[in-house]
Amino acid sequence: MTSDAEPRKAVGRGEKVRAAVHAATLAELVDKGYAALTVDNVAQRAGVHKTTVYRRWADRESLVVDALADHVAADIPVPDTGAVDTDLRELARSLVHTMTSPTGQAVLAAMLSDAARLPEIADARKRIFGDRLRRAEPVIARAVERGELPTDTDPGELLKTLAAPIYFRLLISAEPVDDSTAEHAAALALAAARGGVVRKG
Amino acid sequence: MTSDAEPRKAVGRGEKVRAAVHAATLAELVDKGYAALTVDNVAQRAGVHKTTVYRRWADRESLVVDALADHVAADIPVPDTGAVDTDLRELARSLVHTMTSPTGQAVLAAMLSDAARLPEIADARKRIFGDRLRRAEPVIARAVERGELPTDTDPGELLKTLAAPIYFRLLISAEPVDDSTAEHAAALALAAARGGVVRKG
């Protein structure tokens, strides 16, 4: 019985270690940024030995990529309010709330830090933001089905149009990002879709 | 005569040194990124002694801020084609060309690197992108005067709407950024303005 039970226990412990190390990685990113992040500090914060970290992650880069992917996979709820304007507004609000949280800002900063020179981080960023957009595409498909948007609306392009002004404020103009930013982004995306500017192909 | 001529000569040399050090700073940013940039390497590349650099710039941060500001101040020509759609398209194309050049990408990367944790760099970024937008505002004012856009169009907001999808592709989705990106950004900004989404106040 012990020989059956042990691997299961080991998997359970492995998951706990994984979650603790991910949380510690994000916390270190929040506090110190990517450049100052070390496996030693992550291990200490997670309460595990650094060899435990190195057993699971080859290096600092794969640790960060894995923690970021895990964080972004779980973050944005996909609304279904029955109307495209309220769906887009909710989606924009969720994005604003996620991206303005300390962890969201640290994740974004890490993706754009000198770490972005590493192909693994650049790939992860592309993949992660792609996934986030793809998960929200049903919102647009439902709006097209309800006849609220032109049938040739490109869901991915529309969602990028929604996200772009939020990221612009966060990263470039450094203006406040709040619910009114979300309202504006939703109105802009809707005007673009209705104006036929986000068509497929 | 010598006592009159000398300060002028000194200013001329000072300007040359300033330009050479700025160029070397940008070149180091392109090659190695902000984290690896040192005053020693910049001085060596510019062909000056590092004390010459330290005499003019207190530290690495002020050197980088100064080089970035100088680069961005000179970069985007403001079009005046007589029609808002071609003006916006030209503006978007110039932005695309600047931002996809090696120096443009290095400047952007530097602004968003771990250096962005420093208040001087964060302030410089805000100021630099603010200036770039403000210089292009006459384009929108002229379109409003010609009756091509609603009278309550907010020039700054419209220009941010134009810029946002370009930065989004560069920084987040990592898709190709080219003339068709510029066309799309211009069409989007125009649809937003005509849809009344970028109004003042």
Predicted confidence pLDDT, tens digits, chain B (201 residues)? 444 444 444 557 788 899 999 989 988 988 887 778 899 999 999 999 999 999 999 988 889 888 887 776 666 789 999 999 999 999 999 999 988 988 788 788 777 876 666 777 778 788 777 888 888 999 999 999 999 999 999 999 999 999 999 999 998 888 899 999 999 999 999 999 999 999 987
Question: Which 8-state DSSP code applies to residue B153?
Answer: B
Q: Kindly list the residues of chain B whose beta carbon comes within 8 Å of any beta carbon in chain A.
A: 33-36, 109, 112-114, 116-117, 122, 125-126, 129-130, 133, 160-161, 163-165, 167-168, 171-174, 184, 187-188, 191-192, 194-198
d(CA A20, CA A47): 8
The length of chain B in residues reads 201
Do the Cβ atoms of A114 and B114 come within 8 Å?
Answer: yes
Question: Do B89 and B42 share a structural domain?
Answer: no
Q: Nearest CA to CA, how far is B39 from chain A (Å)?
A: 18
Shared-domain flag, residues B118 and B24: no
CA count, 13 A, side-chain hemisphere, B173: 22
Between CA A155 and CA A133 the distance in angstroms is: 9
- pLDDT over 80 (residue A74): no
Q: Tell whether B115 and B179 lie within a shared domain.
A: yes
Q: Where in the sequence is the domain holding B43, given as residue range(s)?
A: 2-59
Say if CB A92 and CB A133 are below 8 A apart.
no
Structure tokens at A169: 């404020």
Q: What is the pLDDT at residue B11?
A: 56
Q: What is the pLDDT of residue B110?
A: 78
Same domain for A120 and A22: no
The interface predicted TM-score (ipTM) is: 0.82
A31 and A79 inside one domain: no
In this structure, is residue A102 part of a structural domain?
Answer: yes
Is A200 within the bounds of a domain? no
Q: Which of A24, A26, A70 is nearest to A46 (CA)?
A: A24
Q: Whole-angstrom Cα distance, residue B184 to residue B182?
A: 5
Same domain as A160, residue A93: yes
**Domain assignment of residue B55, yes or no:** yes
Question: How many distinct structural domains can be found in chain B?
Answer: 2
In a domain, A66, yes or no: no
For residue B157, what are the contacts with CB-CB under 8 A and spacing of at least 6? B198, B199, B200
Tell me, yes or no, whether B18 and B117 share the same domain.
no
Half-sphere exposure of A115 (CA within 13 A, CB side): 28
- B195–A197 CB contact, under 8 Å: no
Q: What dihedral angle (degrees, nearest 10) is formed by the CA atoms of B32, B34, B36, B37? A: 90
- Closest by CA to B112, choosing from A39, A153, A144, A112, is A112
Asked if B27 and B113 sit in the same domain, the reply is no
User: Which residue type is seen at A181?
Assistant: T
Is residue A33 a contact partner of residue B117, using CB atoms and an 8 Å limit?
Answer: yes
Residue A128's H or E segment, with its range, is: helix A119-145
For residue B199, the SS3 value is strand
For residue A121, give the CATH number of its domain: 1.10.357.10
**B114 in the same domain as B48:** no
The 10s digit of each residue's pLDDT in A98-122 is 889 887 887 887 778 766 667 777 7
Cross-chain CB nearest to A165 (options B109, B116, B161): B161
B144 in a structural domain: yes
B31 and B80 in a common domain: no
CATH number, domain with residue A35:
1.10.10.60
